[in-house]
Structure 1
């Protein structure tokens, strides 16, 4: 069965289908998908009609998504997610060919097990660009570093940087890996990186009038005061939270991550120590993926990049080394090793499906419902909404959108810079959105993002009325028993308040 690469890819695609049924899609995916739809409808890479703005973090994925929308129309999401899962599987197959060049059985188990792990499921099946990114990462490793194809050193750095600008971290690590393996500077690799970086920055400057994606600038402005705790202890908790699978800020999460790193270090030690079975090239590649993973986790945690999807692929690469050690070193008979590994992997797989179901259930009954309620008013882009986040609701309502981070409209960031305390009410007065959606608290309540000056309270109350409340407790209470139990352990979601302009 594992002799046939096509069949192996099909198996991994089938494995991921249950994830799609959970209806869990990362919110920011809808931002990229709306940018792609805007490109089709208006011929402009933007979010609101003919306004140019780099609201998506990835240019290449926007183009791929636009292609899928042209082919499948409004039913593009499932085909796109399946395509992403297939790309991830192909990338894992290339990696397996490096790690197990002569053992087809181990290669097949490696691909199946890796694609079942939680970070692999989220990276390839929740709608973000990380399926294609993993594909491109491993394409560079396989065709460039492993097979020494000169064209790979030129092509894949360009595609990587057009997918995400932060892939420069990966390119830097693997440039050093290539240097260690070949004992000489790869000038073609340098040229590929320079062409990729210069082309995407030059495109941003010419098309959007900015050097980096606006999302970076907007988050820097909006999240300036988001995290009040800047202690080293809190950084370590964040580092462990995003590096591992346990989603809780605590000393126990930190200790669990340290234990995982000790296990990882032991695996790396055994790999390096082996002098007979593992090629020097393979050792360098494995060490490089670990260095990349830990470097990205540490850098992004330090700079307070508090979004879980940034860390999906680093987690995948850490599991790559663990899985390689299990299949290559563990002194157990295959008849014992494979079932035990499968059982552990299946438990993690089931854990991720359940976690995705808890999120998907909530999204279907809250933000998707909000979008449906607004659509009942027969809205279009001539009307507007101010909300956070700018994902599901703007995508399905097609309203002109102002988001509270300023990802899709720079003028929100202008208001934040002018008045960081009352930017929200100032934005309401300036833009006069037809709809307003607030999270957790109503406008004017203490300790909320929606501070209102006393002199503006009467005007707001006269202009807007609260039309519906979407309490998260009601969703939790009406959930199936297993989800209700999970929500009690780890409550997710907040209340939403929908306001409409009084005409």
Structure 2
């Protein structure tokens, strides 16, 4: 086995192919991140209308990533409506290439540990999600490690210029990575890197300039919309809650609790021990020590900034977790011991367990999505949806993608008119939007519109008109999905219930 893996490591093509094959079972979970469908609808919109937007020829930066929109558009042109699976495979390949570049830095001469590093890192939960859930993070990991490998490791001037531009066009928040990388490069080379500075400036100016000239805004509309819609979303302003959130998103246990916090602190304590051992090892080159320390600093800074600013989206934290896993994996693969077979077998069992953990977690989500939001889209399509009809809902991912309905979303990510209504009337913006835009379909989450308060609050004078204008055509209770699930999923749903009820309303056509 060792000889086979060593042979594979000599040709990165076979190693990358093997990582992709290992990930294929994840496709059968049906789990794709909801927000990726927003990017893909923008990409399809760009191909069909020549406009970067979500609804026909209306310009709006509904996606957080420009580069991924353009790449998705290319795949849509090549594969048509069947572009998603090839795109996910492409993302998985890019992630594997990024991990290969990182392994060549960490193991410049040891082929077998290099092979194990790539395979095991690609089996971790954050690597699987970054590769296959549809977001731009497979591309981002590729670009991160491209800059580290060709820039810091090989000293290629073009890399210092090109990669910052591509990173900033992928996500504007990569300025965090670039800022910390700049300090690491300055520490290692003891001089300012003008190519890196120039690439960062051009990348930032070009993205901001494009946003202003094309969309009429400095930052992506998604940032503006979330700022307006989520200002009252913070569940708890206490330090205790913020620390729980920090541990929730920094680790793998999805529960706000003291236990989660303590486990994450124990993990960070072990990570600190690993860094100390690596720094004390005289056989490890100074470059590797810089790369290891830099990636951990980036991971912790990114997690801390986003967690304490109440960024409630798990994908922001995928790559920081990958880098922390990578450092710990490097430490174990670099241990000199006579019992290497036992060590490698133990690592394989541990990371196989992590792989199964993510597969089960994705299966629980994919099963729910297939029987709820995918079913809602199918039910709407039976009534002949399309851009000629409209819907008000949240979130604006799966259902608008498959129904092609003109969309108003409750956050305003894909339609700024909603944000205008929020600014006019913070309390009754939802019913005001219904009355103003008269959507053909309305989808509510967790509750029905009522006078009693909640998210879908009605005024007393709105009750009769809403009842006359709209009919509840179908409910999608989450308890029924949990109850009808296979035994394994039913057990998991009992431990950690996920999902909410949905209520689909249709506009009465006889009015």
Q: Does the alignment reach a TM-score above 0.5?
A: yes
Matched, 1:455 2:496: no
Which residue does 1:10 correspond to in 2? 17
Counterpart of 1:454 in 2: which secondary structure?
coil
Give the root-mean-square deviation of aligned CA atoms: 0.8
CA displacement 1:434-468 (0-9 Å, x = unmatched) = 00000000011634210011111111000000000
Instruction: Please give the residue correspondences for 1:349-364 in structure 2 after superposition, counting only pairs within 5 Å.
Output: 349-364=355-370
Looking at structure 2, the residues matched to 332 and 143 of structure 1 have their Cα atoms a distance apart, in angstroms, of 34
Q: 1:195 aligns with which of 185, 202, 210?
A: 202
Higher deviation after alignment, 329-338 or 245-254: 329-338
What is the CA–CA distance in structure 1 between the aligned matches of 2:338 and 2:372, rounded to whole Å?
49
The runs of 5 or more residues in structure 1 that have no matched partner are none
> Which of these residues, 106, 122, 127, is aligned with residue 99 of structure 1?
106
Q: Which of 73, 84, 93 is residue 86 of structure 1 equivalent to?
A: 93
Matched, 1:258 2:265: yes
SS at match of 2:135: coil
CA distance in 1, matches of 2:288, 2:357: 31
1:330: Cα distance to partner? 5.9
Distance 1:262 1:382, change over 3 A: same
1:240 alignment partner in structure 2: 247
What is the aligned counterpart of 1:54 among 53, 58, 61? 61
- Stretches of structure 2 that go unaligned for 5 or more consecutive residues are 1-7
**Per-residue deviation at 1:188?**
0.9
Q: Which one of the candidate residues 33, 41, 48 is aligned to 1:34?
A: 41
Displaced runs of 4+ in structure 1, greater than 3 A? none
Shift of 1:187: 1.0
Q: How does 1:134-283 map to 2 (within 5 A)?
A: 134-275=141-282, 277-283=283-289
SS in 1 for 2:442: strand
Residue 4 of structure 2 is matched in structure 1 by none
Distance 2:203 2:27 in 1: 33
Matches within 5 A, 1:236-385: 236-275=243-282, 277-329=283-335, 331=337, 333-385=339-391
- Give the 3 Å change call, closer, same or farther, for CA 206–102 of structure 1 in structure 2: same
Q: Select which of 102, 108, 126 maps to 2:115.
A: 108
Greater shift after overlay, 323-332 or 304-313? 323-332
Q: Please give the TM-score of this superposition, normalised by the length of structure 2.
A: 0.98
Post-superposition CA distance 1:404-445 (Å, at most 9, x none): 000001110111111111000000011000000000000116
**Local SS of the residue matching 2:392:** strand
Per-residue displacement from partner, 1:306-329 (whole Å, max 9, x unpaired)? 100000000000101100001002
Instruction: For 1:332 and 1:439, locate their aligned partners in 2 and report how far apart those are by CA, in whole Å.
Output: 58
Contact (CA 8 Å) 2:451, 2:460: kept in 1 or not? Answer: no
What whole-Å deviation, never above 9, does each CA across 1:213-240 have from its counterpart, x for those lacking one?
0000000110000013101111000000
Using the alignment, how far apart are the partners of 2:142 and 2:293 within structure 1? 19
Distance in structure 1 (CA, Å) of the matches to 2:81 and 2:192: 48
1:118 to 121, 125, 148: 125
Distance 1:218 1:332 in 2: 57
CA distance in 2, matches of 1:329, 1:300: 34
* Corresponding pairs, count: 502
Q: 2:401 aligns with which of 370, 395, 399?
A: 395
User: For the residues of structure 2 that align with 1:131 and 1:447, how far apart are their CA atoms?
Assistant: 42
Partner SS for 2:255: coil
